[in-house]
Amino acid sequence: MDNKTLHEQRKQDLLLTVNHKTPSAVPVMLNINSGVLSYAKVKVKDALKSDEAFVDAYVKFTEYIYGDCVTFPGIFVNQAGYEAMGSGQNRVAHDGYTVEHVQASYMKEDEYPLLIKDPAGFVKDTLLPRKYPFLFDGNTDKAVEALKNVFEGAVDVFGVKNGLVEKAFEERFGIVTALSPNWEIGSPLDMIFDMFRGFAGTLTDLRRRPQEVKAAAAVLWEQRVDKLDAIDDIFPFVAQTPHVPAYLSPKQYEELYWPYEKLLIEKIHSKGNKASILLEGRWMHVVECFKEVPKDSTILMIDDDDPFELKKKMGDHVTLLGGAKMSTIILSSKETCIDYTKKVIDELAPGGGFIFCTDKGWLSKADINDNLAAVYAFVHEYGKY
Amino acid sequence: MLLCTSTESIDREDSILKYDDLKKALTDDKNWDVPVSERAAIAESLAWMLLNL
């Protein structure tokens, strides 16, 4: 079968299973990230030197690990921008492969009124001078050069190189990119968590000043969250990588998170597309909210929740993406991995609504290993309907 | 992603420039091959990109 036909067949299998119809086989999703470069022994900084080097290094692992589809192709760090600014939250670690996130928050707890009054002004004239003092010290030429490098670093990775990897997956291997690089679900509470107050600050504020958090979330929703009106196709799916829900009580989730989430899922559904939501951490305490949105409007990517319990609780209403645990793959014998994977397929695949994947992205060298290759090869054979 | 948490709060009451000064300098830059008509919007989005970098 040629790659174009293979790509189309795999895409149709994805569209069947997310509508609880039976595909030809369980789609096998590659949960790729910068760790796949380790298979080619090309570190991120070397891969970034040319488009050709980046693409060739990035796709080389496909000779080792089977896959029908990928989450997002490429890497998700603007390393050139990080180096131009001299600091940031996201960077390549010392091993040369792993993308790490080191949270640094610059908003003080008593500054909610400033954020609520004018989010953009607060960012530009209060937070950025704290985070990057050198931009504002009077050396305009140096500041402009740094800003240009941040912009060009983003265009190079997110606009050019990642796009070329997506094209290479499709044309060289018939592998489908399942999640859109253009449409993304945003959440105002995740913005407060990720960009303003951080982990400790946000969780403290939710208890000490909940009304200010609620008001800030409302303003960010109005001014900053994409309402997704531009969606004009049913595929690829619209992804979300939430961070704060695992730390919310059901009451906080229902009041501050779910109302916005529900609106965006309903918008995506009205466009014929699907919301693909990473359940980072554990969501079992709030997951039944997704029964309030239409059946087959949502794909839930399993992280630390029990996949078998999720299947029982939500499997008829949503598609489950996951099943494999990287901790098992890295720490157990090959036989244990295969036995566990067989149980996953036996219990989660019947009836469709299931895509096989790992719970964590492949960020580091240790993630690309023989057990992973064996598990993915096993699902390719055993997952046929 | 690996998640470590730290908090850092540096007061900068002595900033000489405002972000809009940088936006104007970026818009007027003669050594940048980005169309001038797009630069103001890029500068606005860069502010948020920098916060989340």
How large is the ipTM?
Answer: 0.89
B chain contacts of residue A78, beta-carbon cutoff 8 Å: 49, 53
Pairing relation of β-strands A90-92 and A69-70?
unpaired
- pLDDT value at position B15? 63
Instruction: Place B7 in a pLDDT band, splitting at 50, 70 and 90.
Output: very low
A chain contacts of residue B32, beta-carbon cutoff 8 Å: 148
Distance from B26 to chain A by nearest Cα, in Å?
6
- Percent share of chain A, pLDDT over 90: 96
Distance from A139 to chain B by nearest Cα, in Å?
9
Distance from B37 to chain A by nearest Cα, in Å?
16
- pLDDT value at position A1? 87
DSSP 8-state symbol, A318: S
For the record, the structure tokens of A260 come out as 């916005």
**Whether the predicted pLDDT of A193 surpasses 60:** yes
- Percent share of chain A, pLDDT over 70: 100
Give the integer Cα–Cα distance in Å for A65 and A356: 14
With an 8 Å Cβ cutoff, are A124 and B25 in contact?
no
**Which of A148, A193, A243, A244 to substitute to test the interface with B, most B CBs within 10 Å?**
A148
Query: Whole-number mean pLDDT of chain A?
Result: 96
Alpha helix ranges (H) inside A272-357: 307-314, 326-331, 334-348
Find the mean pLDDT for residues A116-138.
95
**Single pTM value for the model:** 0.93
Q: Is B24 on the interface with A (CB under 8 A)?
A: no
**Whether the predicted pLDDT of B11 surpasses 60:** no
**Whether the predicted pLDDT of A62 surpasses 90:** yes
Find the mean pLDDT for residues A59-75.
95
Give the tens place of pLDDT for each residue, A80-125: 999 999 988 889 999 999 999 888 899 999 999 999 999 999 999 9
Q: Is B36 on the interface with A (CB under 8 A)?
A: no
